[in-house]
Each structure stands twice: as structure tokens, then as C-alpha cells.
Amino acid sequence: MEFGLQSSQKIGFSPWWSNAISLVDSLSTRVVEFFRKVKKTGEDDPRRIGHSFKVGLALTMVSVFYYVTPLFDGFGVSTMWAVLTVVVVMEYTVGGTLSKGLNRAFATLLAGALGVAAHQIAVHCGEKGEPILLGLFVFALAAAATFSRFIPEIKARYDYGVTIFILTFSLVAVSSYRVDELVQLAHQRLSTIAIGVATCLCTSIFVFPIWAGEDLHKLVAGNLEKLASFLEGLSAECFAEKGGIENLEGKTFLQAYKSVLNSKPTEDSLANFARWEPCHGRFWFRHPWKQYLKIGALSRQCASSMDALAAYIITTSTKSKTNTDPDLQLRIRAACKEMATESANTLKELSTAIRTITVPSAAGRHASAAVAAIGKWRDSLSDDIALPEFLHVATTASLLADLVLRVQKIAGSVEELARLAHFKRPEPLVHDAKIKPVVDEHSRSHLSITLEK
């Protein structure tokens, strides 16, 4: 079969059955691939399946208002708004649902009242003046509200509320031109939206609740653990008594801290939702969620240091060694091992302390030991008075050298962009200076290793 396919490709002719078979083949691969992804999504966090069922449940509950005649007669077509509210308000976490639900309820109330007021004013302006005045109102309020969404504080907490405000005000103000019983309509709509919000909140809080605060708590503790596992790996692989830094390509601990670098958006949104959540489990309302964000920011700084360290170690790990002062080296290596181990222990202690909501007791001891190790390695250099000052310059140079190689990578990537996006050529005056990445003995090992996560 394979031979047949190949030969038909070669002569530019393919019988219909091989075409059909390859089509079915690629289709079935895609379907299998899709189901593999679906399975993985469920396995990664089984609560996602629960959430999906909760959304289905809330929607089915709310649609009862359509099926039961006495209920439907009470609200009429406005029942639609209950369904609409459930679809847009229902979020993954309790805090998200609360935030959206309360935003929706208050924005609807405020905008509805303003809309009715706008109608009362416009009605006095005669048949021709009314639509013009209503149009002006809608234009002014929509523009002002849209602009307010660019203010960071409003964007972070009330973005959805402002959208609903514009929506409700426009609908009430504009449709008031055609509807006679405006107050009755507003009342019906408010009731159905309240029903929708209440359905969402009940399902969210009472059926397998997923708390944003708890997720944030676990995320921050988990990130500290990831940082610790990098340091543990470092201590075990790089500063062993014998051997030292060897070829480290493909070691998993070198990837441990990477996900921490990009955790900011998740932490921000979880903290934003958590502040809406009522007392639950071990957390109360007004739990110091902001402090978690501070720990998160410091963790990212730490991860950033680890990134520099990992890059440096990878670059130098393939070099051959010349052990001329084995004693001094052993002493520094021992100090390194202590710094890494004690810092790893500190982080693990802190992570456990957060997880178990216990005051971190042993972390202080480990942190002190790590700082003491810094002193130890500086002392080991003090035999030669010139060395410490020299080291500052040399270390800076090493870090800069790494930076240079990273800049070179950017240059390569921009050149690739220039090729892909057909950038125009510069004036022929300087055309001899085309980019030619210089790969010398020092940078080759670095460039061959992909640092991207």
C-alpha cells in the first residue's frame, strides 16, 4: 500500500481509492487526537467535568419556567432573560460567579432606573424630539461607560458590570420609545435576571463548589514547591561530592521553575475572584488575598534568578575541567550544596506551612543556614584579599556573557521574521553587513540547547 502511494505521488497521479484512504486516515488521526485532548483535559482537573454538569443543571432548572404554564404566564417572554443570565454569569469558581452575578444585578438595577428616567425626560420633548434626545442619551452614556472600562481599577473588578450597564440602559431607553408598559417590562426583566443569578449562585455554592481562594492558596503553595524541587535537583546533580557539574541536557529539574514565571495572570484573576467569596472552609471573607499576590511576585523573582542560574550552568556544563586547586573548589562546592539544600528546605517548609495553614517554624532555621553558607563561601575566598573584588567584576562579566548569547538568539529570531514577513532590504550601501551569527567555541554549546520551555 505504501509503495502504491509513493509511486502515485511520484508520477503525479493518484487513484481515487488511495486518495480516499489517506483522507480517512488523516481524518481518523485528527478525531483520535481530539479525543485524546478531551480525555487529557478531563484528567488534568476532574472538577471541570463537574462544572460542565453544573452548567447543564442550572440551565435545565431555569428552563422549567418555560415548561410550567403558570410560571410562564407570570413572566412571559422575559423568561428568556433568566436563560441568558445563567449562560453568561455561570463561571468556574464561586468567586467568579458571585462577581459576575452581583455585577449583573446591580448594573441592571442602576441602568434600568436611569433608562426609565431618560424616558421620562425625553417624553416631554414632543414626538420629533424624543428619539433625538434618547439617541443623545445613549451616545453619551455608552461613550462615557466604554471609556471608564480603560481605567485599570474599573477594568479589574467591574468590567462585566459596565458592559451590562451599557446594554441595559440602551435597551430600556431605546425600547421605551415603542413599549407602553415600561415599568411592568422593567419589573419582569429584573425578576427574571434575579432568578437567573440566584440559580447560578445556588448551583455554584451548593453543588461541588470550586473556590477561587482555595485554588489561589494551592497555586501559591505549589509554586513554592516547584522552586524547591529545582534547588533540590541542583543540589543533587551539580554539587555532588565527586563529579560536579556534568552534562545536564534533558534533566527535568531544569524545567521545574518555568511555569512559575508566567503565573501572574492566573494569580491576579484568582485573587480578584477570591475577594468576592464568603467564608468557606479555612478561609474567611476578607482573607489577606493580597499577601498571596506579594508572595507570587517574589516567587517569580526567584524563578527569574533560577532561570539565569540554569542558563549559566547549562552553558558551562559541557566544558572540560582543569582541577588545579581542588581544595578551594571543594570548599566552594560544599558551600553551594549547602545554599541550595537549605534554600530548598526553606521553600519546602514554607510550602507546607501554607498548605497546612501553620506558622512556618522550621523555615527560619533553614533560611539562616542558607545565609550562613553565603558567609562560608565568602570566607573561603578571603585567603587571597584580591579575590572577592575581582570576583564581582568576573561574575558580572559571566552574567553579561549569558545575556549576550540571549540577545544573539533574539537577533536570529528577528531575522527569521524578516524572512517570513518579507521585510524590505535596506539601501544597498550597507548590504555587505548581512547577519552572520558568530558561533564560537564558547557559544556553540549554548546555542545548541533550546532554552524555550
Measured at the CA of 147, the angle between CA 143 and CA 150, to 5 degrees, comes to: 160
Quote the CA–CA distance of 123 and 131 in Å, as a whole number. Answer: 9
Contact 189, 76 (CB under 8 A): no
- 200, amino acid identity: C
Contact 309, 227 (CB under 8 A): no
Task: Determine, following the binding rule CB under 8 A, whether residue 37 of this chain makes contact with a second copy.
Answer: yes
Binding part of the chain for a second copy, among 17-25, 95-103, 112-120, 386-394 by CB under 8 A, reads 386-394
Q: From 324, 351, 356, select the one nearest 225 (Cα to Cα).
A: 351
Quote the CA–CA distance of 239 and 371 in Å, as a whole number. Answer: 18
Give the number of C-alpha atoms closer than 13 A to the C-alpha of residue 201, restricted to the C-beta side. Answer: 17
- Of 124 and 425, the one with the shorter C-beta distance to a second copy is 425
Contact 81, 196 (CB under 8 A): yes
Site size for a second copy (CB under 8 A) = 175
φ and ψ at residue 162, rounded to 5 degrees: -65, -40
Binding part of the chain for a second copy, among 22-30, 95-103, 200-208, 400-408 by CB under 8 A, reads 400-408
CB of 379 to a second copy, least distance (A): 11
Positions 45 through 74 that interact with a second copy (CB under 8 A): 45, 48-49, 51-53, 55-57, 59-60, 63-64, 66-67, 72
Positions 97 through 126 that interact with a second copy (CB under 8 A): none
Who's near 119: CB < 8 A, 6+ residues apart?
Answer: 134, 172, 173, 176, 182
Task: Determine, following the binding rule CB under 8 A, whether residue 174 of this chain makes contact with a second copy.
Answer: yes
Task: Determine, following the binding rule CB under 8 A, whether residue 402 of this chain makes contact with a second copy.
Answer: yes
CB of 4 to a second copy, least distance (A): 34
Single out the residue of 126, 249, 364, 448 in contact with a second copy (rule: CB under 8 A).
364
Quote the CA–CA distance of 292 and 346 in Å, as a whole number. Answer: 17
Positions 278 through 307 that interact with a second copy (CB under 8 A): 287-288, 291-292, 294-295, 297-302, 304-307
- Of 15 and 412, the one with the shorter C-beta distance to a second copy is 412
CB of 98 to a second copy, least distance (A): 18
Positions 195 through 254 that interact with a second copy (CB under 8 A): 224, 227, 231, 238, 244-245
Task: Determine, following the binding rule CB under 8 A, whether residue 12 of this chain makes contact with a second copy.
Answer: no
- Of 15 and 284, the one with the shorter C-beta distance to a second copy is 284
Quote the CA–CA distance of 194 and 261 in Å, as a whole number. Answer: 41
CB of 102 to a second copy, least distance (A): 19
Task: Determine, following the binding rule CB under 8 A, whether residue 33 of this chain makes contact with a second copy.
Answer: no
